[in-house]
């Protein structure tokens, strides 16, 4: 048994198990009566749903293929193309929804009352639905350019068509998935921090603060529950950046070395690294609940309350 197969058999199954529990607990908390009306919580419901789907439609088939040599994609063209199509959509929907969540927190923490009013469930739902439709339509090209390719007389592979399309997929993965989401998350995270800092400065000037809320002037109040959700957003962003960093670095390396002549050993090592970095991309879909428990008192209390009631 190869090292890669062992990793997917053991670590893959463990990640699938803890990830499933994480997503389910997140869904239970964020759909609770006290949170379901909050637009940020609604975004987290969407993120947790996509993460759960990504684990079972992305990670599970990969475990079966790499860990147990069960790969129906090499004999069924419909499965082959559908697997890539669903994976491309789910891999970008998670960070897209997280960007929407970041935008919502930027709006909710603004000192401008008109801007704060735009933080609504209706706007968040509109953004989630429209982005989902956009990515579903944008990925249609996969059904045309992904095929079952014969590598050797008895070896077939479900993969992109060679040439220009492979280059397009590489740049797409690098810029659309690897670089653009972290940049946008960083921008809106910075704007949210700036808004919070402005609120803190206003408090310092007015010498008016309470334990459970932060008050700036007469109309701007950031409640404790919203502060907790902001913490969760920042933690989600950090987890995403850490888990996707290896694959982004590897894609950059591939672009730098694409014209070099590589030995068979080097190619084998790169294929192994590519599979490992792909595997680490599922970490952010699997551990968010446990991070939420660590950083958010409200999340812990809500989880305890839900289990007590059951």
Cα–Cα distances in angstroms (integers) from residue 164 to residues 156, 160, 168, 192, 270, in the given order: 21, 10, 6, 40, 21
pLDDT tens-digit profile of 91-147? 999 999 999 999 999 999 988 888 989 999 999 999 999 999 999 999 999 999 999
**Structural domains counted in the chain:** 1
Domain region containing 69 = 3-309
Residue 193: give its domain's CATH number.
Answer: 1.20.1070.10
Structure confidence at residue 254 (pLDDT): 84
pLDDT tens-digit profile of 211-240? 444 444 444 556 777 888 899 999 999 999
Question: What is the spatial distance between Cα 229 and Cα 107, in angstroms, rounded to a whole number?
Answer: 13
pLDDT tens-digit profile of 196-213? 888 777 665 655 444 444
Question: What is the spatial distance between Cα 250 and Cα 170, in angstroms, rounded to a whole number?
Answer: 11
pLDDT tens-digit profile of 55-102? 999 999 999 988 888 888 788 899 999 999 999 999 999 999 999 999
Contact 199, 186 (CB under 8 A): no
pTM of the complete model: 0.90
For the chain, state the CA radius of gyration.
Answer: 22
């Amino acid at each position: 048994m190869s090292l890669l197969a062992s990793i997917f058999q053991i670590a893959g199954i463990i990640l699938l198990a803890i990830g499933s529990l994480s997503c389910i607990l997140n869904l239970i908390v964020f759909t609770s009566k006290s949170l379901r009306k909050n637009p940020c919580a609604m975004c987290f419901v969407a993120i947790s749903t996509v993460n759960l789907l990504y684990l079972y439609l992305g990670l599970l088939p990969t475990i079966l293929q790499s860990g147990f040599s069960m790969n129906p994609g090499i004999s069924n063209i419909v499965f082959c193309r559908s697997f890539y199509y669903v994976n491309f959509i789910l891999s970008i929907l998670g960070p897209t929804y997280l960007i929407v969540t970041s935008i919502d927190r930027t709006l909710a923490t603004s000192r401008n009352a008109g801007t704060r009013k735009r933080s609504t469930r209706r706007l968040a739902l509109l953004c989630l639905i429209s982005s989902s439709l956009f990515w579903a339509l944008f990925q249609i090209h996969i059904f045309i350019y992904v095929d079952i390719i014969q590598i050797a007389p008895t070896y077939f592979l479900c993969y992109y068509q060679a040439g220009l399309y492979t280059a397009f997929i590489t740049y797409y993965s690098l810029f659309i998935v690897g670089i653009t989401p972290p940049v946008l998350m960083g921008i809106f995270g910075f704007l949210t921090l700036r808004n919070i800092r402005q609120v803190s400065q206003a408090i310092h000037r007015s010498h008016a603060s309470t334990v459970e809320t932060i008050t700036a002037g007469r109309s701007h109040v950031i409640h404790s529950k919203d502060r907790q959700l902001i913490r969760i957003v920042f933690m989600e962003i950090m987890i995403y950046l850490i888990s996707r960093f290896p694959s982004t670095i590897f894609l950059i390396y591939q672009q730098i070395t694409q014209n070099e002549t590589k030995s068979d050993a080097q190619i084998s090592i790169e294929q192994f690294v590519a599979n490992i970095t792909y595997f680490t991309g599922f970490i952010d879909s699997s551990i968010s609940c446990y991070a939420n428990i660590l950083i958010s008192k409200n999340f812990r209390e809500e989880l305890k309350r839900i289990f007590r009631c059951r």
